Amino acid sequence: MAYNPNQRAADARPGVATPHVDEGLRSYMLQVYNYMGLGLVITGLVAFIVASTPAIYQPIFGSPLKWVVMLAPLGFVMALSFGIQRFSAGTAQLLFWTFAAVMGLSMASIFLVFTGESIARTFFIAAAAFGALSLYGYTTKRDLSAMGTFLMMGLFGLIIAMVVNIFLGSSALQFAISVIGVGIFAGLTAWDTQRIKSMYFMVQGDATATAKSAIMGALALYLDFINLFMFLLQFMGQQRN
């Protein structure tokens, strides 16, 4: 078969569908979702085990150590975000699994606050919403980049409001934060999916870059799902007596 020098350029354009690119893209996105899904499984198992073991959660959540546990996931996110170019694909993957486990440790408290039934119900609703939003981001022909910029600005504003409410303790502000949070992370789910899909066309042909991109894509979607779930839980979660 003769080599066509224009083929690679054509394959790299998101709007051009070829069997080779479609198969590669499907494999890439499947890897992203598999990483994300396994990360959620690890998080859920660790959270459940810790919440079910008083010898573990009492020393953590009954002392200032809880702040270390709650802030530790942020350290892993920053390490992956700023160090991904220096890490090997294997190291990045190990950091992602460790992050998922630490995230589970920090989320164990929700099992102490909310009933298991309401957690499960909210999880399945969040999963259904996430699936629909991610499918939209994957299939839409609309460019969501402008929306992504707006949502990131909204996210920074949301974080500021959450910090302020730590000191105010306003239930009305907390309700508004939860409503806005659901909207922001619903939009980010679609935007991130489209962005991750586009990244494939930039790294295809480079196995190492593709593997790293899949891990970072999984991290982005994982965070979108977790935040969507947590904000929905503020509405739907039934607190223990």
Nearest to 119 by CA among 241, 1, 237, 3: 237
Helix ranges restricted to H, 14-139: 19-51, 54-61, 65-83, 89-107, 109-113, 116-139
Q: Is residue 11 part of a domain?
A: no
Least confident of 62-66, 75-79, 85-89, 214-218: 62-66
Any idea which residue has 């934060």 for tokens?
A: 177
Domain total in the chain: 1
User: Where is average pLDDT lowest: 96-100, 165-169, 221-225?
Assistant: 165-169
Report the chain's mean pLDDT, rounded to a whole number. Answer: 86
User: What does the pLDDT look like over 10-46, one tens digit per residue?
Assistant: 444 444 444 555 788 999 999 999 999 999 999 999 9
Nearest to 20 by CA among 212, 230, 191, 200: 200
Distances from the Cα of 106 to the Cαs of 92, 116, 126, in angstroms?
21, 17, 19
Residue-wise pLDDT tens digits, 123-152: 999 999 999 999 999 999 999 988 888 998
| Three-state secondary structure call for residue 2 | coil
Q: Give the phi and the psi of residue 114 in degrees, each rounded to 5.
A: -110, 155
Please check whether residue 68 lies inside any domain of the structure.
yes
All residues at 6 or more sequence positions from 185 whose CB lies less than 8 Å from its CB, including other chains: 224, 227, 228, 231
Residue 241 lies in a domain: no
Does the predicted model carry a pTM greater than 0.85? yes
The answer to the question of residue 6 being in a domain is no
Domain extent, residue 130, equals 17-236
